[in-house]
Every structure is written in C-alpha cells, then in structure tokens.
A and B are shown apart, each in its own frame.
Chain A
C-alpha cells in the first residue's frame, strides 16, 4: 500500500491520467530531481595559486566553459519546468485544476473548457481531465448466457444443457417465474464530471451495476411473453426508467442517452419458443384468410342487395311509366272507339295480328276437316330421344 508515504514527490504531476492518483514519476518530477543534485554544486573555479603550466590552464578553461554550459542548461530546465504548467483541453473533455489537492473554483466554474490553460507545476497544482461529451458505454451481461467472444463473432451458440449453472450462465427471472436471457447496453454521458470523478472510485463500475439492477428488477415485473414478444418496448422503457431513477438516486452524475435491451428464450427451449411463434403466425394466417372470406361474402351480398333494390326500382318505374303511356294511348283512342266500337276492335285486332305474325317463327294453320269436325292435333314437345337399351336381353 502506498498510503503510508508522505513524500509528495511520489505523486506524478497532472498528466491527464484520469482520476486515479498516479504514483509514477512524471517527467517534470524527474527534472526537479535532476536539478537538485546539480544546483547546489557549483564547482568552485580552480584556485590559481600556483603558476600554471599550459596543461592545467587548458583544464581550467575547459572546466569554466563546461560550468557555463551547465548554467545554461539549468536555466533552460527551470524555464521548461515553468512551461510544463501549460496544458490543453480537448473538445470532448473538461479539466479540473487541483491546487494543493483542492479544486480551484466552485461548481461549473471549476471546469476548464477546451483550449490552452495554465496551472502551476506539481506539487502545487494538479490537472484532472474528465471526458464529458463523448458517449460512454457499458453492457450488462448478468442476464446473458456464457459465450466466448469467438463464438459471438462466429455467430455460433454454446451448448445448451437442460439446466443453468448460476455461477457461469447469466439469466433473469421473469414475473411468471420463467427463465430467459436479457442483455442491456447503455450509452451515457457524464453530466456532472465533479461528482463522477470525485464521488466514486470506479464510476463506470457503478453505472454497470446500476444497469444490472435495472435490468434484473424490470425483468422480474414482466412476463416472459411480454419481454420477448408482446411488450418489447414496454420492457425496454421500464429498464430505461429504472436506470434513470437509480442513476439520480445514487447520484452517479450521468445522463442516460440510449438504452438497448436484447432478450431471448433459453437456448435449451429455443425450439419450443419457435413453435409458439409459428403458432402465432399460423393463427394470424387463419384469421386473415377468414377476413378475406368475410370481405368476399359481404361484398357479394352488398352487390346482390343493390341488384335486388335496383331491379325493383326499375321495375316499378317501368310499371308506372308503361301504365301512364297506356293511359295516354287509351285517352287518345277512346273517342275513336266510341265512334264505332266494332270496327275499331276489328281493325286493331287485325293490324296487331299482322304485326305479330311477322315475328312468329313457325306458323301452323289447321284447316277444318271436310266433315266439319275439329281436327285433332298431337304435339311431341321436345322430348329427349329414347336411348336404345344396351343392357337388355341379348337376342
């Protein structure tokens, strides 16, 4: 455990390595270390006590010039050390500056937006970066069967045994005490970076556990058929609602952006569930066929009904109109009839017979027999010709 160290140098400077308290040595730290042994040791200039021979003089010059170089390097390092306080914040993140461990500013003001910023070098200030606009994603698999990534990619399914081992195979219990698999994927944004970073040691773990809870608890309130087919959206909505509620309750500091839920029957019962789906489809089909028949019958009946009433209407119109015409004719003819009824009748009858006869196809005239008796006429009305008996006794 690193808690019993009180030496501030062990903490790296704000290197953007997130909320974790880094214990590694950052480069800024290294610089200060390097500077420490060098700075207090300005090598004293060689005392020119004795007259110098050219060799030692050359050595002295070399030492002096190297000391000059060391000074320049030192100044450079100091400048570099101060400049290490500049840092940039990307468009997808916010940064917090901790001065002696405490955030500078309160609430929203404590957050540095995208751009170039300055903070004093460690150990005075520390920069903590928080991803904010970018979507984070967690997937809850407490309710999903055990599947290796290779199987997932290949699209194959693991062996389905007649029972589930709770330690390896995840599942959820439904309201009607059935077992199914359900998996939820949550996309969320960090709404309150300060809470997200400073309230939780592992915030995304917390989000995941909250999602697990939301999924398991929502499933326990829905029946198996509601989850799988009848009310898929209702179930998804319930998980989402529970998630939002719990996130607010536990003050996770996140916003639920999108939540997807996948659910499926146990692998072992796959065929049984498929049969029910088939039955549902068959039921729909039978009902649809019946609807078609219904439509046909009704439209035919409608047409027939319209035919009946139309025929009646036209018949009655015809009746009235023809009677009216007849009446008009009667009115016309009446004066002439009154003049000479007998002649009128004869004329009319003969004229009509003449007209009618033209249209008659076969006309058979029977003259009186010479004895004056009426002749007898026998008619064979289209009778079917008698067939020769085949099965009769052979001659």
Chain B
C-alpha cells in the first residue's frame, strides 16, 4: 500500500474531529444546556465548551436563557368598586434552573411553560384587580398606582412560581392595555358627549362674562382717569389763581385805575369778534354827533 504521509495526517485529523464532535458540545452565550444521562437530567452547562459522553449515553438539551416575552389576552375582571375592567399584561420571564425546568415541562417545552404562566397570570390579575378601585388605575395628578398594582401582580406570580418550583423567574410585568367592555364604552361615549356640550356652553358663557368684565373694568378705569385729571386740573387752576393773587397788591395802589383798565380790557375783548353794537348818542365818542362838536369848536 502506498503510505502517503499526507493521507495519514488527513486521516488522523479527521478522526480527531470526529472524536471531538462526539465528546464535546458548546453552549452559546444566552443559552443554558441540560445534559441527560440515560434520559435522566444529570447536570447543567453554562456557556462555553463542555465535555460529554456520546449518544446514547448522554444527551444535550439547550434552552434559551434570555428573557422571553409573554403577553396574555385581554381579560375582564371586577374592580373593588364593581367596575368591569379589561386588562392585558406582558411579562418578561426566563428559565433560571434548567434542571428543574426540564423535567417539569415535556422536554422543556416553552409553549407548555407559557400555558402555565398564563394561568398564573390570570389568577394573579383577578386577585389584584379585585383589591383595587378603578380610581387606582385612572386618576389625575399621580393618583394612579400602576407601579404598586404591577408590583402586587409580580409578587403573586413570583410566590406561585416559588411554591411550585418551575425553574422559571418572572423578571418584570407591565400593564400594557386597559379597556372597558364594549357596552360600557357606549355609555362612556354618551357621558363624554354631554360633557362636551356642557363644556362648550360653559366656555361660551365664560367668554361673554370675561368680555363684559373687561369692558366694564375699562369704563370704570376711564372714569377714574378722567376724575383724577379733573382734580389735577382744578389743583393747577388753584395754583394759578394763587400765583395771580400775588400780583393783586400792585393794583391796590390805585383801585380806581385798576378797575378802569380791567373794564377797558374786558370791553375790548368782548367786542373783538363779529358783533353788533347799538348805542345812543350819549356814548362817547358818539356824543360828538349831538353837538359835542360845537363844544369842541368853541374851545
């Protein structure tokens, strides 16, 4: 036979590969594996390469160890104050103990596990919702207690999981939908409709009232302004008169002359504009017409 060294090397390498494949398996990050020996769970394996005995002695089952999403259907429950409330919840769960998980569900079926989770969720939901009034769910100004409600549901779930030891942990739980039964939505709509009507008429009335208020405030403000101005004007006039009074002593030197001059001014001022003057012959200087001229001539 031709002993080609290349063939030997290739042969040995292939044999080695085959043996490695038989005796080693690897677990990916995000996975966890269960090794069964003659069908019974023997040990768990973390991510990385691991040794195994070849089939049919040992068999490897791998599970996703990441958080899986599960959401239930919309279900109807009665709140503490007898309101029907529809809720839908999602949870993040993961397999924590594959050795426990694996035998509990047929060959570690995730679907089977989800069925169990759904049942638990169902009872946890009705128990927790039954303890809370609707106002714990919906109310303004931070009155709603979602965080608490979710915590309570989560705690119930975890208690049940612990009690039954499924090898599962629920990491988080969230209320993702709230609803009302269809017949209730109709009455809610009716109520909303009447609320809208009340609101729009109230808005209108409010607007008119506000407008009136603004207008009357403006009127009174204006009146106040004018009154103030009037007072100010009077004060200014009084000031002027006081200043004028300071001049009066001058005229007291000769009241007759002062009187005459003032009357003269008044006369002039009153006849300034288009005026009609009727006078008789005794009014100077028209007394001249009555023979005053002769007096003058005689002089």
Mark A residues whose CB is within 8 Å of B.
1, 3-4, 6-9, 19, 21, 36, 39-40, 42, 44-45, 98, 100-103, 123, 126, 142, 162-167, 170-179, 197-202, 205-206, 209-210, 212-213, 216-217, 220-226, 246, 249-250, 266, 268-269, 272-273, 275-276, 278-280, 282-287, 289-291, 293-295, 297-298, 300-302, 304-306, 308-309, 311-313, 315-317, 319-320, 323-324, 326-327, 329-331, 333-334, 337-338, 341, 345-346, 348-350, 352-357, 359-368, 374-375, 377
* Partner of A366 from B2, B226, B267, B280 at Cβ < 8 Å: B280
CA distance A355 to B46 in the complex (A): 129
Closest 6 pairs between A and B when the two form their complex, measured CB to CB: A316-B240, A283-B207, A305-B229, A301-B222, A312-B233, A290-B211
Given A319-B241, A354-B285: A220 in contact with B144 (beta carbons within 8 A): yes
Q: What is the CB-to-nearest-CB distance from A25 to chain B, in angstroms, rounded to a whole number?
A: 16
- Identify the closest chain A residue to B178 (Cβ): A173
Residues in chain A near residue B201, CB distance under 8 A: 279
CA distance A205 to B172 in the complex (A): 14
Given A166-B86, A174-B138, A212-B177: A365 in contact with B286 (beta carbons within 8 A): yes
Given A216-B178, A309-B236, A315-B237: A278 in contact with B200 (beta carbons within 8 A): yes
Q: Is the CB of A294 within 8 A of B200?
A: no
Q: Is the CB of A334 within 8 A of B290?
A: no
Give 1 or 0 for each of B267-299: 1 = CB within 8 Å of chain A CB.
110011011111111001110011000000000
Q: Binding site of A, secondary structure by majority: helix, strand, loop or mixed?
A: helix
**What are 14 A-B pairs with beta-carbon distances under 8 A?**
A40-B10, A201-B68, A212-B90, A221-B140, A280-B203, A293-B215, A309-B236, A313-B233, A320-B244, A326-B265, A330-B253, A350-B284, A362-B277, A366-B280
Q: Is the CB of A309 within 8 A of B229?
A: yes
Q: What is the CB-to-nearest-CB distance from B228 to chain A, in angstroms, rounded to a whole number?
A: 7
Residues in chain A near residue B186, CB distance under 8 A: 162-163
CA distance A297 to B221 in the complex (A): 9
Identify 10 new A-B residue pairs, CB closer than 8 A, beyond the known A221-B143, A301-B222, A377-B278: A39-B10, A101-B29, A177-B134, A308-B226, A308-B233, A323-B244, A326-B262, A359-B272, A364-B277, A366-B280
Residues in chain B near residue A302, CB distance under 8 A: 225
Q: Is the CB of A305 within 8 A of B225?
A: yes
- Identify the closest chain B residue to A354 (Cβ): B285
* Partner of B210 from A8, A225, A287 at Cβ < 8 Å: A287
* Partner of B257 from A217, A295, A333 at Cβ < 8 Å: A333
* Partner of A163 from B182, B193, B217 at Cβ < 8 Å: B182
Which of B52-60, B114-122, B161-169 interfaces with chain A?
B52-60
CA distance A199 to B65 in the complex (A): 8
Q: What is the CB-to-nearest-CB distance from A8 to chain B, in angstroms, rounded to a whole number?
A: 6
Residues in chain A near residue B62, CB distance under 8 A: 3
For window 213-272 of chain B, which residues contact chain A by CB distance below 8 Å? 214-215, 217-219, 221-223, 225-226, 228-230, 232-234, 236-237, 239-241, 243-244, 247, 250-251, 253-254, 256-258, 260-262, 264-265, 267-268, 271-272
Given A326-B262, A348-B264: A312 in contact with B52 (beta carbons within 8 A): no
Given A276-B196, A297-B222: A366 in contact with B281 (beta carbons within 8 A): yes
Given A6-B55, A312-B233, A317-B240: A101 in contact with B31 (beta carbons within 8 A): yes
CA distance A118 to B235 in the complex (A): 100
Q: What is the CB-to-nearest-CB distance from A68 to chain B, in angstroms, rounded to a whole number?
A: 13
We find that the number of chain B residues with CB closer than 8 angstroms to chain A is 135
CA distance A366 to B286 in the complex (A): 10
Residues in chain B near residue A331, CB distance under 8 A: 250
Residues in chain A near residue B1, CB distance under 8 A: 44
- Identify the closest chain A residue to B206 (Cβ): A283
Give 1 or 0 for each of B192-213: 1 = CB within 8 Å of chain A CB.
1101110111011011101110
Residues in chain A near residue B49, CB distance under 8 A: 100-101
Residues in chain B near residue A1, CB distance under 8 A: 107, 109
Given A100-B26, A290-B215, A360-B277: A40 in contact with B14 (beta carbons within 8 A): yes
CA distance A320 to B242 in the complex (A): 9
Q: Is the CB of B214 within 8 A of A290?
A: yes
Q: Is the CB of B237 within 8 A of A294?
A: no
Q: Is the CB of B261 within 8 A of A326?
A: yes
B97 within 8 A of A: no
Q: Is the CB of B207 within 8 A of A349?
A: no
Most B CB within 10 A of own CB, among A199, A200, A209, A329: A209
Q: Is the CB of A173 within 8 A of B59?
A: no
- Identify the closest chain B residue to A162 (Cβ): B186
* Partner of B211 from A199, A279, A289, A352 at Cβ < 8 Å: A289
Residues in chain B near residue A315, CB distance under 8 A: 237, 240
Q: What is the CB-to-nearest-CB distance from A276 to chain B, in angstroms, rounded to a whole number?
A: 5
CA distance A345 to B179 in the complex (A): 109
CA distance A133 to B86 in the complex (A): 39
Q: What is the CB-to-nearest-CB distance from B207 to chain A, in angstroms, rounded to a whole number?
A: 3
- Identify the closest chain B residue to A204 (Cβ): B69
Q: Is the CB of A273 within 8 A of B229?
A: no
Residues in chain A near residue B219, CB distance under 8 A: 297
CA distance A9 to B22 in the complex (A): 12
Q: Is the CB of A209 within 8 A of B192?
A: no
Residues in chain A near residue B200, CB distance under 8 A: 275-276, 278-279
For window 143-200 of chain B, which residues contact chain A by CB distance below 8 Å? 143-144, 146, 171-172, 174-183, 185-186, 188-189, 192-193, 195-197, 199-200
Q: What is the CB-to-nearest-CB distance from A206 to chain B, in angstroms, rounded to a whole number?
A: 6
* Partner of A98 from B21, B29, B211, B221 at Cβ < 8 Å: B29
